[in-house]
Amino acid sequence: MTLRTEIEDGVALVTLDRPARHNAIDLATARELAALWREFRYDDTVRAAVVTGAGGRAFCTGIDRSAEVPQPSSPYSLDDPLLTIGPKANDLWKPVIAAVDGMACGGAFYLLGEAEFVVASENSTFFDPHTTYGMVSAYESLTMAQRMPYGEAARLALMGTAERLGAPRAYAIGLVSELTAPGAAAEVALRRAATLATQPTEAVQGTVRALWAAHEAGRAQARAHAPALIALGNLPPDRQAELFAARKERTPGGGAGGGPAGADPYPFVR
């Protein structure tokens, strides 16, 4: 199992438990996440949840590049295993808080985008490596464009690995709702979730559903374009692999988040 789940006083703590891979999601983890959110729909002892990553270095770094994702031969079809890793994709309307310590990038945005709000430690960073490696940032970008100002979302997506959005800046633009000391994001998020768990659950779930409805139509329309944009814009896999293999030769500039310079230290990001 690549997830750890602890339930206490109505709050479930869901931990991505692949710290050696910066909590990158393989196909087994994707299936576990989807199954867990569906399980929570029927578990009345769970009234709120926190999702976080183990190890302190990363919340999640997207899909593990070692994962092999079979694709249909039709150019009109695209299988994305991350589309079903979030609570809303599994029809769960209990509130979920994301607790970020360290890196959150690429496919991590699927989870952040379906959380009610994000608590992050001051040393956390957010970035989207897709364009650097010849991939279209479609689902990630449309998700972030609904969580932050357009210009900030565009900068994050288009700058690729050259951009690091630091937690203070993420807080200033509204992506993060609360900053904590390093290593304390999960603890603080659990306290917020405990408060949610004391509220009448029917009213809480109805409010979550109403909030989601506010941008649901636009999200659905945008997602309808994503498969075609990816099919048209992605470089062939062998060319993507060449760019990824050459990552250590590049020197990222740091960007708005004041991120690290030097060789790309994020080998599992996709």
Q: What gap in Å lies between CA 145 and CA 158, rounded to an integer?
A: 12
Q: What gap in Å lies between CA 134 and CA 270, rounded to an integer?
A: 11
Q: What gap in Å lies between CA 197 and CA 224, rounded to an integer?
A: 35
All structural domains of the chain, each given as residue ranges with its CATH number in brackets, are 3-185+230-257 (3.90.226.10)
Q: What gap in Å lies between CA 15 and CA 2, rounded to an integer?
A: 9
* Structural contact between residues 34 and 84, judged by C-beta atoms closer than 8 angstroms: yes
Predicted model pTM: 0.87
> What are the Cα distances from residue 170, in Å, to 21, 164, 190?
24, 10, 20
Q: What gap in Å lies between CA 51 and CA 5, rounded to an integer?
A: 9
Confidence (pLDDT) at 236: 84
Tokens of 230: 């990816």
> What are the Cα distances from residue 157, in Å, to 162, 249, 253?
10, 21, 15
> What are the Cα distances from residue 60, in Å, to 139, 203, 231?
16, 31, 25
By DSSP bridging, strand 58-60 and strand 103-105 are parallel
| List of the chain residues with pLDDT < 70 | 66-69, 71-72, 75-77, 248-270
By DSSP bridging, strand 48-53 and strand 3-8 are unpaired
Confidence (pLDDT) at 67: 65
Q: What gap in Å lies between CA 81 and CA 183, rounded to an integer?
A: 29
CB atoms under 10 Å from CB of 217, counted, come to: 9
Confidence (pLDDT) at 211: 95
* Structural contact between residues 38 and 69, judged by C-beta atoms closer than 8 angstroms: no
